[in-house]
Structure 1
């Protein structure tokens, strides 16, 4: 009975996707054809990878879209950021709907506390902070943050006994950390087009010790929600959606609508160890692309080193605080 129910849910989701795609091409088909020009058409294969990464990992489609647009298509960083939010509002929302149909034990207590400050953070970032930070510094710092987190996570990942499939009732400290992390994630999303998912994943994996796959699925839902709010704010409140965004979005939207749920299914089925190896390969590509494509000023190296050191200390402290938490009310993850 349960298998039949899951199959019917999958069939319903596939039918819904087919209906959405049919309507999309009926309404926008001629605009897509006119937008399909060189080099804009490159966004389709780029976001095929980006949407898969968005659905399968905590990095988000923006981690692929931002460097690809700024370095391959030579787009302005503000256009790349807006595109990341706009395309994630399609792809990661599609992946989120698929996750909601297939996964039952999501940590809604965490999501409900994380999202409100994340919405406030992205509003503040779009309204005030964005003009004062150089795009190059943001790109490098994002790469350092991802690399630092992965290094710390690999260090603690060997202790499989402390990974769980649920989160107990949140203490005052838990709530304070979640609120602050949500605000920081929202600010990053407003600057880079991604980041709220990474911050959520850091807290879930290092502090709450949530199972890797569940933490990833939760981060996808978080980033989809933040992206939707970000696009809504840009389009209605701030009216800052760039005109260059439209042809790129028209080309990429049907690709990510399919690619992100495929990535989510990949995440659901793959073993946690293999998922971690996949994430390592994506992070390695992120580091290589930053070193190869982002001009690094020697005068700023000491800033980047200091930032990496601070990130390492913060993430290590987060894990040490978690070591003092009482996890007895949680259910341990199944061994691989």
Structure 2
């Protein structure tokens, strides 16, 4: 696991995905551990690694979207509590593996949509922030919190997708934003599972003990490297990671029913992210039209 988390912590520091995006598939698909153990370990590791990256972000004075962090946390906390008590128990281990792979593959498609838009205009922060935008961020936080409840990761990719595709915020701002959000939610999830529920397995604690030095060191290094690497390079790493996860899932010989559901989730996710991107283009044009009207009034 320390070797796995070297790569996982680097990915967490560089991209919008937490270390759980690496740890969860390795622990469930390769080591064949229970998804609950993988979820808890992901939260525990990210509570150290992502908070270490947070120190790096503050030290380097990296810009982030404060509203996305605040509204995301406000939604993710109740979302996690609901998910861990009511959503997570509904599914078997195989179904959780399937959902993890499907959702993250859909995210890879979303990232592909984003990178396919050459020289697209972006914002440093969400433009013309208002009530409905805050509400969308809050709902995104709830959905991400539910994903965190069964996979140990989710709030990061949910918020990254909405902030970049819908509100057209630059990846340079969105990535540290999701990093901060992931760190805070992971700390809460770790505390809630360990203190309020008190049923984190001994296996998760043992894996956590041997990976603390790794995640505490490699995640900030990942943040530093991510600030210097081209976004296409980072995107390529994510594509490779998702292909590996999808391949690993198929190698476990899932039933045709699970494969069919996985394909349906991926297609639905792709369609959803496409619609979000299209609506984002509409918002961008409206924002540009408003700016033009303001400029004309100033000239007049």
Between the aligned partners of 1:201 and 1:155, the Cα distance in structure 2 is 13
SS in 2 for 1:170: coil
Partner of 2:227: 268
Between the aligned partners of 1:72 and 1:280, the Cα distance in structure 2 is 19
- How far the C-alpha of 1:156 sits from its partner, in A, is 4.1
- How far the C-alpha of 1:279 sits from its partner, in A, is 2.4
- How far the C-alpha of 1:133 sits from its partner, in A, is 1.3
Change in 2 beyond 3 A, CA 1:223/1:264: same
Between the aligned partners of 1:124 and 1:255, the Cα distance in structure 2 is 31
Q: Write the mapping of 1:1-336 to structure 2, written as runs, cut at 5 A.
A: 43-157=1-115, 158-292=117-251, 294-325=252-283, 326-328=286-288
- How far the C-alpha of 1:71 sits from its partner, in A, is 3.4
Change in 2 beyond 3 A, CA 1:129/1:155: closer
- How far the C-alpha of 1:108 sits from its partner, in A, is 0.3
Change in 2 beyond 3 A, CA 1:154/1:77: closer
Change in 2 beyond 3 A, CA 1:153/1:73: closer
Between the aligned partners of 1:302 and 1:69, the Cα distance in structure 2 is 23
Would you say the 8 A contact 1:213–1:267 is kept in 2?
Answer: no
- How far the C-alpha of 1:164 sits from its partner, in A, is 2.5
Between the aligned partners of 1:291 and 1:54, the Cα distance in structure 2 is 25
Change in 2 beyond 3 A, CA 1:75/1:316: same
CA RMSD in angstroms comes to: 1.9
Query: Structure 2: which 5+ residue stretches go unaligned?
Result: 292-300
Deviation per residue, 1:98-126 (Å, 9 max, x gap):
11221342110121111111011111112
Between the aligned partners of 1:222 and 1:167, the Cα distance in structure 2 is 16
| TM-score normalised by structure 1 residue count | 0.80
